[in-house]
Amino acid sequence: MKKLIMGIAVTSVLVLCAHAATFTVPGIADPWLANGTVDNVGTPEPADSAPFDSPVFAGSVTGGSTITWSATGSTINYGYGSGVGTDGPNGSGGPVERYLGAGANGISDLQAPMNSLIGVFTGPGGGTAFFMGASGSVTVPSGDTAFYMGNMDTYGWANNSGAFTVEVTGVPDGGLTVAMLGMGLSGLAFIRRKL
């Protein structure tokens, strides 16, 4: 009986860890706010601020783990792109760079297509921004502990529109896996006492 209970518990945890979570990433999600409360100070548009323009927190991560994703939808920023709401997760046009350059809120700079889906891993040493696009996979860098998603722009995310729908596998969605593991272990302890 104990082996059966342990087998069910382990299987449940593995299923939870492999669970795909779906997120909505709005065009106003500034990836460089993953480590700060204000971005784009001194640009031609008003500064972006948390929580309104914050990127979407996809969950806690562990270095060396693999994350995969698939994204649909479209975003557009003011005055740029192929048309209102027509730029998919791969973005439009050639790579652009942030107006302010590297180091905003301790997150690396990035050249990526305008209006594309962007990811950010953060940890004690800052953060790393990377191009995600419509689909792919990535290995979490050693030491990073959190995963965020946003939209590529050069500055001024607040006037962007549209959104991406992103299905992510390999990231516990907001700590749900840890909470479920704790509940599962509590349940096992209760059953063990009853046996």
The set of residues, in sequence order, having a beta carbon less than 8 Å from that of 130 and lying 6+ positions away, is: 110, 118, 119, 120, 121, 138
Q: What is the pLDDT of residues 1-39, one digit of tens each?
A: 444 444 444 334 444 445 689 999 999 999 999 998 998
**Cα–Cα dist 29/117, whole Å:** 10
β strands within 61-145, DSSP E? 66-76, 92-97, 111-114, 117-123, 126-131, 135-139
Worst-scoring range by mean pLDDT, 82-96, 122-136, 138-152? 82-96
The arithmetic mean of pLDDT across residues 171-190, rounded, is: 47
Query: pLDDT-based confidence at 80, cuts 50/70/90?
Result: low
The pLDDT of residue 10 is: 39
At 133, the amino acid letter reads G
- Tokens 């891993």, located at residue: 121
